Amino acid sequence: MNTEAKVGAFVLVCAAILLATIYRVSNMQMRGARVPYRTYLRYAGGLEPGAEVLFGGIKVGTVTAVRPDRQDPTRIEILMDVKQGTPVNANSVAKLGSVTIVTSPLISISMGSNDAPRLPPNGLIPSLESISVDDTQRKIVALSDSAHDLLDAVHKDMDGLTGDARKLIANLNEMTGKPNQQRVTDILTNADKTIADISPKVDHISDQVSKLTDDANAFVAKLGPAVDNVNATVSNADDTITAAREPLQTDLAELRKTVEQARALIGDLQASVRAKDQGITDTLENLRIATDNLSGLTESVKERPWSLVRIRQPKDRKVPK
Protein backbone atom coordinates (compact mmCIF):
# COMPACT_ATOMS: atom_id res chain seq x y z
CA MET A 1 0.00 0.00 0.00
CA ASN A 2 1.34 3.36 -1.02
CA THR A 3 1.53 6.39 1.19
CA GLU A 4 -1.58 8.02 -0.26
CA ALA A 5 -3.66 4.95 0.50
CA LYS A 6 -2.38 4.87 4.05
CA VAL A 7 -3.12 8.53 4.54
CA GLY A 8 -6.60 8.05 3.12
CA ALA A 9 -7.30 5.12 5.44
CA PHE A 10 -6.02 7.07 8.42
CA VAL A 11 -8.23 10.01 7.53
CA LEU A 12 -11.26 7.75 7.22
CA VAL A 13 -10.60 6.11 10.60
CA CYS A 14 -10.18 9.51 12.25
CA ALA A 15 -13.36 10.73 10.61
CA ALA A 16 -15.25 7.65 11.90
CA ILE A 17 -13.90 8.14 15.41
CA LEU A 18 -14.81 11.80 15.27
CA LEU A 19 -18.32 11.05 14.07
CA ALA A 20 -18.78 8.40 16.79
CA THR A 21 -17.54 10.80 19.44
CA ILE A 22 -19.82 13.55 18.20
CA TYR A 23 -22.79 11.14 18.17
CA ARG A 24 -22.01 9.93 21.67
CA VAL A 25 -21.59 13.40 23.07
CA SER A 26 -24.69 14.71 21.34
CA ASN A 27 -26.73 11.72 22.52
CA MET A 28 -25.56 12.23 26.13
CA GLN A 29 -26.34 15.91 25.93
CA MET A 30 -29.78 15.18 24.55
CA ARG A 31 -30.57 12.58 27.18
CA GLY A 32 -28.88 14.35 30.05
CA ALA A 33 -26.75 12.81 32.81
CA ARG A 34 -27.75 9.35 34.07
CA VAL A 35 -27.32 7.69 37.50
CA PRO A 36 -26.96 3.90 37.61
CA TYR A 37 -29.00 1.82 40.09
CA ARG A 38 -29.61 -1.90 40.54
CA THR A 39 -32.26 -4.17 41.97
CA TYR A 40 -32.98 -7.90 42.25
CA LEU A 41 -36.11 -9.89 41.41
CA ARG A 42 -37.06 -13.57 41.55
CA TYR A 43 -39.06 -13.28 38.33
CA ALA A 44 -38.20 -10.97 35.41
CA GLY A 45 -41.32 -11.67 33.35
CA GLY A 46 -39.68 -11.12 29.91
CA LEU A 47 -37.95 -7.88 30.90
CA GLU A 48 -35.22 -6.89 28.39
CA PRO A 49 -32.57 -4.17 28.21
CA GLY A 50 -34.02 -0.94 26.93
CA ALA A 51 -37.26 -1.36 28.89
CA GLU A 52 -38.62 1.77 30.50
CA VAL A 53 -38.04 2.73 34.14
CA LEU A 54 -40.87 4.67 35.78
CA PHE A 55 -40.72 6.70 38.99
CA GLY A 56 -44.18 7.46 40.33
CA GLY A 57 -45.56 6.73 36.84
CA ILE A 58 -43.10 9.11 35.07
CA LYS A 59 -40.46 7.77 32.69
CA VAL A 60 -37.05 8.55 34.19
CA GLY A 61 -34.72 5.98 32.58
CA THR A 62 -34.14 2.64 30.90
CA VAL A 63 -33.02 -0.84 31.84
CA THR A 64 -29.42 -1.43 30.80
CA ALA A 65 -28.95 -5.10 31.73
CA VAL A 66 -31.01 -8.11 32.82
CA ARG A 67 -28.94 -11.09 33.92
CA PRO A 68 -28.79 -13.81 36.59
CA ASP A 69 -27.03 -12.81 39.76
CA ARG A 70 -23.51 -14.24 39.95
CA GLN A 71 -23.63 -14.68 43.74
CA ASP A 72 -27.22 -15.98 43.99
CA PRO A 73 -28.50 -17.81 40.90
CA THR A 74 -32.07 -17.84 42.28
CA ARG A 75 -32.54 -14.14 41.57
CA ILE A 76 -32.18 -11.82 38.56
CA GLU A 77 -29.96 -8.75 38.64
CA ILE A 78 -31.42 -5.73 36.88
CA LEU A 79 -29.28 -2.69 36.08
CA MET A 80 -30.84 0.61 35.12
CA ASP A 81 -29.91 4.20 34.37
CA VAL A 82 -32.10 6.85 35.94
CA LYS A 83 -32.15 10.51 35.04
CA GLN A 84 -30.04 12.60 37.38
CA GLY A 85 -32.14 14.47 39.95
CA THR A 86 -34.71 11.71 40.35
CA PRO A 87 -35.38 11.50 44.14
CA VAL A 88 -34.80 7.77 44.54
CA ASN A 89 -34.55 7.16 48.30
CA ALA A 90 -34.11 4.32 50.75
CA ASN A 91 -37.89 3.82 51.05
CA SER A 92 -38.38 3.52 47.28
CA VAL A 93 -39.38 0.05 46.06
CA ALA A 94 -38.81 -1.39 42.57
CA LYS A 95 -41.22 -3.92 41.10
CA LEU A 96 -42.00 -5.46 37.75
CA GLY A 97 -45.05 -4.02 36.04
CA SER A 98 -46.64 -2.71 32.90
CA VAL A 99 -48.74 0.26 31.89
CA THR A 100 -51.35 -1.85 30.05
CA ILE A 101 -51.87 -5.55 29.45
CA VAL A 102 -50.50 -5.48 25.88
CA THR A 103 -47.43 -3.32 26.61
CA SER A 104 -43.97 -4.65 27.35
CA PRO A 105 -42.89 -5.15 30.97
CA LEU A 106 -41.06 -2.36 32.71
CA ILE A 107 -39.60 -1.41 36.10
CA SER A 108 -41.77 0.78 38.33
CA ILE A 109 -40.13 2.58 41.27
CA SER A 110 -42.30 3.93 44.08
CA MET A 111 -41.76 7.46 45.39
CA GLY A 112 -40.83 6.36 48.92
CA SER A 113 -40.63 9.03 51.61
CA ASN A 114 -39.37 12.59 51.60
CA ASP A 115 -37.58 12.07 54.93
CA ALA A 116 -35.67 9.01 53.74
CA PRO A 117 -32.06 9.50 52.59
CA ARG A 118 -31.33 9.57 48.85
CA LEU A 119 -29.68 6.50 47.33
CA PRO A 120 -26.16 7.00 46.00
CA PRO A 121 -25.18 5.95 42.46
CA ASN A 122 -25.04 2.16 42.00
CA GLY A 123 -27.25 1.91 45.10
CA LEU A 124 -29.52 -1.07 45.67
CA ILE A 125 -33.23 -0.33 45.33
CA PRO A 126 -35.36 -2.73 47.46
CA SER A 127 -37.69 -4.84 45.34
CA LEU A 128 -41.22 -6.16 45.66
CA GLU A 129 -41.89 -9.47 43.96
CA SER A 130 -44.82 -9.53 41.58
CA ILE A 131 -46.98 -12.55 40.95
CA SER A 132 -46.10 -14.30 37.72
CA VAL A 133 -48.63 -15.56 35.24
CA ASP A 134 -47.71 -19.16 36.08
CA ASP A 135 -48.23 -18.54 39.79
CA THR A 136 -51.52 -16.87 38.99
CA GLN A 137 -52.60 -19.82 36.90
CA ARG A 138 -51.57 -22.27 39.62
CA LYS A 139 -53.51 -20.31 42.21
CA ILE A 140 -56.51 -20.17 39.90
CA VAL A 141 -56.33 -23.93 39.39
CA ALA A 142 -56.00 -24.52 43.13
CA LEU A 143 -58.90 -22.14 43.77
CA SER A 144 -60.92 -23.96 41.11
CA ASP A 145 -60.21 -27.31 42.78
CA SER A 146 -61.18 -25.89 46.16
CA ALA A 147 -64.33 -24.41 44.67
CA HIS A 148 -65.17 -27.77 43.11
CA ASP A 149 -64.73 -29.53 46.46
CA LEU A 150 -66.75 -26.82 48.14
CA LEU A 151 -69.53 -27.19 45.57
CA ASP A 152 -69.55 -30.96 46.14
CA ALA A 153 -69.82 -30.44 49.91
CA VAL A 154 -72.52 -27.83 49.44
CA HIS A 155 -74.36 -30.17 47.09
CA LYS A 156 -74.26 -32.95 49.68
CA ASP A 157 -75.40 -30.56 52.40
CA MET A 158 -78.13 -29.27 50.12
CA ASP A 159 -79.32 -32.82 49.52
CA GLY A 160 -79.53 -33.37 53.27
CA LEU A 161 -81.24 -30.04 53.81
CA THR A 162 -83.65 -30.81 50.98
CA GLY A 163 -84.58 -34.13 52.60
CA ASP A 164 -85.05 -32.45 55.99
CA ALA A 165 -87.12 -29.72 54.38
CA ARG A 166 -89.30 -32.33 52.70
CA LYS A 167 -89.82 -34.10 56.03
CA LEU A 168 -90.66 -30.79 57.66
CA ILE A 169 -93.14 -29.94 54.92
CA ALA A 170 -94.71 -33.39 55.25
CA ASN A 171 -95.03 -32.92 59.02
CA LEU A 172 -96.52 -29.48 58.51
CA ASN A 173 -98.97 -30.87 55.97
CA GLU A 174 -99.91 -33.58 58.43
CA MET A 175 -100.36 -31.05 61.23
CA THR A 176 -102.35 -28.69 59.06
CA GLY A 177 -104.50 -31.39 57.47
CA LYS A 178 -108.28 -31.37 57.48
CA PRO A 179 -108.69 -33.44 60.71
CA ASN A 180 -106.40 -31.15 62.68
CA GLN A 181 -108.00 -28.10 61.11
CA GLN A 182 -111.40 -29.40 62.19
CA ARG A 183 -110.07 -29.97 65.72
CA VAL A 184 -108.68 -26.46 65.88
CA THR A 185 -112.00 -25.12 64.61
CA ASP A 186 -113.89 -27.08 67.29
CA ILE A 187 -111.52 -25.82 69.99
CA LEU A 188 -111.95 -22.22 68.88
CA THR A 189 -115.74 -22.68 68.72
CA ASN A 190 -115.81 -24.09 72.26
CA ALA A 191 -113.57 -21.29 73.45
CA ASP A 192 -115.89 -18.69 71.92
CA LYS A 193 -118.92 -20.38 73.49
CA THR A 194 -117.21 -20.56 76.89
CA ILE A 195 -116.28 -16.90 76.71
CA ALA A 196 -119.84 -16.00 75.71
CA ASP A 197 -121.21 -17.99 78.69
CA ILE A 198 -118.74 -16.55 81.16
CA SER A 199 -119.04 -12.93 80.03
CA PRO A 200 -122.43 -12.26 81.80
CA LYS A 201 -121.13 -13.87 84.99
CA VAL A 202 -117.97 -11.80 84.82
CA ASP A 203 -120.05 -8.67 84.28
CA HIS A 204 -122.30 -9.61 87.25
CA ILE A 205 -119.26 -10.23 89.45
CA SER A 206 -117.80 -6.90 88.36
CA ASP A 207 -121.09 -5.17 89.29
CA GLN A 208 -121.14 -6.92 92.68
CA VAL A 209 -117.54 -5.94 93.34
CA SER A 210 -118.30 -2.34 92.39
CA LYS A 211 -121.36 -2.30 94.67
CA LEU A 212 -119.36 -3.88 97.49
CA THR A 213 -116.69 -1.25 97.03
CA ASP A 214 -119.28 1.54 97.17
CA ASP A 215 -120.85 0.04 100.34
CA ALA A 216 -117.44 -0.28 101.93
CA ASN A 217 -116.67 3.34 101.15
CA ALA A 218 -120.02 4.44 102.62
CA PHE A 219 -119.42 2.30 105.75
CA VAL A 220 -115.97 3.80 106.19
CA ALA A 221 -117.48 7.27 105.80
CA LYS A 222 -120.10 6.49 108.48
CA LEU A 223 -117.55 4.82 110.74
CA GLY A 224 -115.43 7.95 110.92
CA PRO A 225 -117.71 9.91 113.35
CA ALA A 226 -118.25 6.77 115.47
CA VAL A 227 -114.50 6.35 115.82
CA ASP A 228 -114.24 9.99 116.82
CA ASN A 229 -116.99 9.48 119.46
CA VAL A 230 -115.22 6.38 120.80
CA ASN A 231 -112.00 8.33 121.05
CA ALA A 232 -113.82 11.11 122.91
CA THR A 233 -115.49 8.56 125.27
CA VAL A 234 -112.18 6.91 126.05
CA SER A 235 -110.66 10.30 126.74
CA ASN A 236 -113.55 11.20 129.08
CA ALA A 237 -113.28 7.84 130.88
CA ASP A 238 -109.57 8.42 131.37
CA ASP A 239 -110.29 11.84 132.81
CA THR A 240 -113.03 10.40 135.11
CA ILE A 241 -110.78 7.62 136.39
CA THR A 242 -107.98 10.09 136.98
CA ALA A 243 -110.34 12.42 138.91
CA ALA A 244 -111.81 9.60 141.04
CA ARG A 245 -108.54 7.92 141.83
CA GLU A 246 -107.48 10.16 144.73
CA PRO A 247 -110.92 10.19 146.54
CA LEU A 248 -111.08 6.40 146.23
CA GLN A 249 -107.66 6.04 147.77
CA THR A 250 -108.73 8.30 150.66
CA ASP A 251 -111.99 6.34 151.17
CA LEU A 252 -110.11 3.06 151.17
CA ALA A 253 -107.77 4.36 153.84
CA GLU A 254 -110.70 5.42 156.01
CA LEU A 255 -112.36 2.04 155.42
CA ARG A 256 -109.22 0.26 156.50
CA LYS A 257 -109.16 2.35 159.68
CA THR A 258 -112.86 1.57 160.36
CA VAL A 259 -112.26 -2.16 159.88
CA GLU A 260 -109.39 -2.05 162.33
CA GLN A 261 -111.61 -0.24 164.85
CA ALA A 262 -114.32 -2.84 164.32
CA ARG A 263 -111.83 -5.60 164.93
CA ALA A 264 -110.76 -3.91 168.16
CA LEU A 265 -114.38 -3.53 169.21
CA ILE A 266 -115.08 -7.17 168.53
CA GLY A 267 -112.06 -8.08 170.62
CA ASP A 268 -113.32 -5.96 173.49
CA LEU A 269 -116.75 -7.53 173.19
CA GLN A 270 -115.28 -10.98 173.26
CA ALA A 271 -113.35 -10.05 176.41
CA SER A 272 -116.43 -8.65 177.99
CA VAL A 273 -118.41 -11.81 177.14
CA ARG A 274 -115.79 -13.95 178.74
CA ALA A 275 -115.66 -11.74 181.85
CA LYS A 276 -119.36 -11.48 182.36
CA ASP A 277 -121.79 -14.32 182.00
CA GLN A 278 -124.88 -12.28 182.71
CA GLY A 279 -126.53 -10.49 179.93
CA ILE A 280 -124.73 -12.60 177.38
CA THR A 281 -127.87 -12.98 175.32
CA ASP A 282 -128.35 -9.23 175.17
CA THR A 283 -124.75 -8.77 174.36
CA LEU A 284 -124.93 -11.33 171.60
CA GLU A 285 -128.04 -9.65 170.25
CA ASN A 286 -126.27 -6.30 170.36
CA LEU A 287 -123.28 -7.93 168.77
CA ARG A 288 -125.44 -9.33 165.97
CA ILE A 289 -127.02 -5.94 165.46
CA ALA A 290 -123.58 -4.35 165.43
CA THR A 291 -122.43 -7.00 163.01
CA ASP A 292 -125.42 -6.34 160.77
CA ASN A 293 -124.75 -2.64 160.97
CA LEU A 294 -121.12 -3.28 160.20
CA SER A 295 -122.12 -5.42 157.25
CA GLY A 296 -124.48 -2.71 156.06
CA LEU A 297 -121.74 -0.16 156.55
CA THR A 298 -119.34 -2.34 154.62
CA GLU A 299 -121.79 -2.79 151.76
CA SER A 300 -122.54 0.92 151.84
CA VAL A 301 -118.83 1.69 151.70
CA LYS A 302 -118.35 -0.75 148.79
CA GLU A 303 -121.23 0.73 146.86
CA ARG A 304 -120.70 4.40 147.83
CA PRO A 305 -117.18 4.84 149.14
CA TRP A 306 -117.54 8.62 148.98
CA SER A 307 -120.15 8.45 151.72
CA LEU A 308 -117.33 8.23 154.25
CA VAL A 309 -116.08 11.69 153.37
CA ARG A 310 -119.12 13.38 151.80
CA ILE A 311 -122.41 14.23 153.45
CA ARG A 312 -124.57 14.33 150.35
CA GLN A 313 -124.66 11.66 147.77
CA PRO A 314 -123.47 12.97 144.39
CA LYS A 315 -125.67 12.76 141.36
CA ASP A 316 -125.26 9.80 139.03
CA ARG A 317 -122.97 10.49 136.07
CA LYS A 318 -124.51 10.53 132.65
CA VAL A 319 -123.16 8.18 130.05
CA PRO A 320 -121.24 10.18 127.44
CA LYS A 321 -122.78 10.26 124.00
Q: How confident is the model at residue 121 (pLDDT cuts 50, 70, 90)?
A: very high
Asked whether the beta carbons of 147 and 103 are under 8 A apart, the reply is no
Ranges of each domain in the chain? 31-129, 131-168, 216-308
Question: What is the C-alpha to C-alpha distance for residues 273 and 290, in angstroms, rounded to an integer?
Answer: 15
Lowest mean pLDDT among 84-93, 178-187, 274-283: 274-283
Q: CATH number of the domain at 31-129, please?
A: 2.40.30
Q: How far is CA 315 from CA 240, 303, 304, 306, in A?
A: 14, 14, 12, 12
pLDDT at 144: 73
Asked whether the beta carbons of 116 and 71 are under 8 A apart, the reply is no
Q: What is the mean pLDDT of residues 21-50?
A: 78
304 Cβ contact partners less than 8 Å away, ≥ 6 residues apart: 313
Q: What is the mean pLDDT of the chain?
A: 77
| pLDDT tops 80 at residue 37 | yes
Q: Residue 214: how many CA atoms within 13 Å on its side-chain side? A: 5
Structure-model confidence comparison of residues 15 and 141, the more confident one = 15
Asked whether the beta carbons of 64 and 36 are under 8 A apart, the reply is yes
Lowest mean pLDDT among 37-41, 157-161, 253-257: 157-161
Q: What is the mean pLDDT of residues 95-123?
A: 88
Q: How far is CA 56 from CA 35, 39, 53, 107, 184, in A?
A: 17, 17, 10, 11, 77
pLDDT at 30: 44
CA nearest to 132, candidates 68, 66, 45? 45
pLDDT at 169: 76
pLDDT in tens, 71-87: 888 899 999 999 988 99
203 Cβ contact partners less than 8 Å away, ≥ 6 residues apart: none
pLDDT in tens, 288-303: 777 777 777 677 766 6
CA nearest to 41, candidates 65, 69, 61, 64? 69
Other Cβ atoms within 10 Å of 259 Cβ, number = 14
pLDDT at 31: 53
pLDDT at 22: 76
pLDDT in tens, 204-246: 787 887 788 887 777 777 766 766 776 777 677 667 666 666 7
Asked whether the beta carbons of 119 and 96 are under 8 A apart, the reply is no
Q: What is the mean pLDDT of residues 291-318?
A: 65
Structure-model confidence comparison of residues 90 and 1, the more confident one = 90
